Amino acid sequence: MSKAKNIFGLLAEKPWEKGQIESDNKHEGQTLSLSKYKVGLRTIMAVSIVLFSLFIVAYSDRMLVSDWKNMPEPWLLWLNTGILILSSIVFYLTENYSKKDLYERTKNGLYFIGFLAYAFLIGQLIVWYQLMSTGYYATTNVANAFFYLFTTLHGLHLIGGIYFWGKTTAKFLKKNNDKKDINHQIEICGTYWHFLLAVWIVLFGLMLSS
């Protein structure tokens, strides 16, 4: 609500008035209290939501056609979902550790998050191998193609998250960086991780329901 007020407040400003001119000259070029990291994250999330929404709509429409054949539900997908949930919980705890300046716990949390992220990706590749070894190729059926498309897109987003997790972890381990900035970056990474979990739950739920 306060952010909405800030936006409408900006629209209501009168830059030609003397008092507003003096106020504008004092600020440092920022119009909203958002860091460049948050602006970048929100842009990525907005684009991703639009992209996944379009594919979900296409999936929902296409599954109504008579040639649609449901895929099996490998038990490993449930395990991978559990890994992603656990990584989101660990990231939440790690954010709190970093804010309390608990170095060892934050370091261990970041390491564990990286391990879980790679475990999830490897688990998804194993699911692919299991399905293809039993004849469920992307070209066999439209439902198969959508499954591989969804898991590929989500995996690519997670790889992007791993890249920024790596940069944040490297900065944290140097110890000579601004703690406030590091904590902020850990928070941004954590928000993205929670977003990836939400996206996967929606995709996984959609595939289970069909």
User: What's the pLDDT score for residue 23?
Assistant: 60
Q: Which of 4-13, 16-25, 68-77, 94-103 reaches the highest mean pLDDT? A: 94-103
d(C-alpha 173, C-alpha 186), whole Å:
12
Residues 27-66 pLDDT 10s: 554 555 567 778 889 899 999 999 999 999 999 999 888 8
d(C-alpha 93, C-alpha 109), whole Å:
8
CATH of segment(s) 36-209: 1.20.120.80
Query: Which class for 139: exposed (0-12), middle (13-18), buried (19 or more C-beta within 10 A)?
Result: exposed
Non-local (6+) Cβ contacts of 56 within 8 A are 202, 203, 206
Across 150-168, average pLDDT: 95
Residue 13 backbone dihedrals phi, psi, to 5 degrees = -65, 155
User: What's the pLDDT score for residue 126?
Assistant: 97
Question: 0.75 exceeded by the pTM?
Answer: yes
Average pLDDT, the chain: 86
Domain segments of the chain: what residues?
Answer: 1-33, 36-209
Residues 101-129 pLDDT 10s: 999 999 999 999 999 999 999 999 999 99
pLDDT of 24 strictly over 60: no
Angle subtended at Cα 52 by Cα 114 and Cα 47, rounded to the nearest 5 degrees = 80
d(C-alpha 151, C-alpha 125), whole Å:
9
